[in-house]
Structure 1
Amino acid sequence: MSKIQVLRNLVRELRLSLPSHEKLQHSPAFTYIMEYYRKNAVTDQQYCREQEEMAYTAQTYSTYLESSRRYREIREEYHGRGERSVRETADYVGFKLPQDPQ
C-alpha cells in the first residue's frame, strides 16, 4: 500500500472515530499526523529509514482505528439488546418454534 493510501485510510478512520459535531481539522490527532507526515516527507532521490517506520506506524494506527470502530459496531448490534426471549432468539436465527396444541 502506498504512503498516500495509508494516510487516506488513517484520516478516514480518524474522521469516523470523532464525534459528529467535531471537525477533523480541529483535532489534535489530525494536526499531529499531518505535521509528522510533512516532517518526514522525502524526495525520490533520498532514502530514509524513519520514513519507512512512519509508514508502518501509520498503517498500524489505521488498522487499530478501523478494528476499534468495527468492534463497537458489532458490540452495539449484538450486545446492546439485553436478554432475548426464546421466540425472539428462534426468529433471529431462523428457526420456528413448535406450535402449542391447545
Structure 2
Amino acid sequence: MAALGSPSHTFRGLLRELRYLSAATGRPYRDTAAYRYLVKAFRAHRVTSEKLCRAQHELHFQAATYLCLLRSIRKHVALHQEFHGKGERSVEESAGLVGLKLPHQPGGKGWEP
C-alpha cells in the first residue's frame, strides 16, 4: 500500500465509500452504524499533545487498509457486472468487447462484383 496521507483524507474516502454502499439501499449513510462508529473512532483518536501517539497511527493504518478493501470490492463488482459471462455471444459481440469491428460485405455473403 502507498503512503497513508492525512487522516482526514482517509476519513473522507471512507465516507465516500459508505455513500456508494448506501446508495443501493436508499437509506442515508449517516443513519448507519458504520458511520457512527467511524465518527466516534476518529474523534477518539485525534492527535493529542503526546509526542508519539501510537494508537492514532494504528487507527489511521487500519482505516486506510479498510478504505483500500472497500474500493477494491466496489471496483471488482463493477468489473464483474461488465464482463461476467452472459452465455454464448455472437462473433460481433465478442469483437465489440475488445474494440474490434468485423469487415462489412456490401452485398452480403458471397457477393462478387
Q: Using the TM superposition, give the Cα deviation of residue 39 of structure 1 relative to its aligned residue in structure 2, in angstroms.
A: 1.1
Runs of 4+ in 1 over 3 A off after TM superposition: 97-100
d(CA) in 2 for partners of 1:27, 1:80: 34
Instruction: Read off the aligned partner of 1:89 and give its amino acid letter.
Output: S
Aligned residues: 101
Q: Find the counterpart in structure 2 of residue 28 from structure 1.
A: 33
In structure 2, stretches of 5+ residues that fail to align are none
Instruction: Read off the aligned partner of 1:40 and give its amino acid letter.
Output: H
From 67, 87, 92, give the equivalent of 2:92.
87
Q: Give the TM-score normalised by the residue count of structure 2.
A: 0.79
Instruction: Indicate the structure whose relative CO is greater, using CA pairs within 8 Å and at least 6 residues apart.
Output: 1
If you compute each CA radius of gyration, which structure gives the higher value, 1 or 2? 2
In structure 1, stretches of 5+ residues that fail to align are none
Once the two structures are overlaid, the 10-residue window that deviates more, 75-84 or 7-16, is 75-84
Q: Give the TM-score normalised by the residue count of structure 1.
A: 0.86
CA contact (8 A) 1:87 1:97 kept: no
Q: Using the TM superposition, give the Cα deviation of residue 28 of structure 1 relative to its aligned residue in structure 2, in angstroms.
A: 0.5
CA contact (8 A) 1:90 1:96 kept: yes
The within-5 A match list for 1:1-102 is 1-18=5-22, 19-43=24-48, 45-46=49-50, 47-79=52-84, 81-93=86-98, 94-96=100-102, 100-101=109-110
Once the two structures are overlaid, the 10-residue window that deviates more, 58-67 or 76-85, is 76-85
**Secondary structure of 1:81 counterpart:** coil
What whole-Å deviation, never above 9, does each CA across 1:59-93 have from its counterpart, x for those lacking one?
01111000000001111111163331122112332
More helix by share: 1
Root-mean-square deviation (Å)? 1.8
Once the two structures are overlaid, the 10-residue window that deviates more, 50-59 or 89-98, is 89-98
CA contact (8 A) 2:92 2:101 kept: no
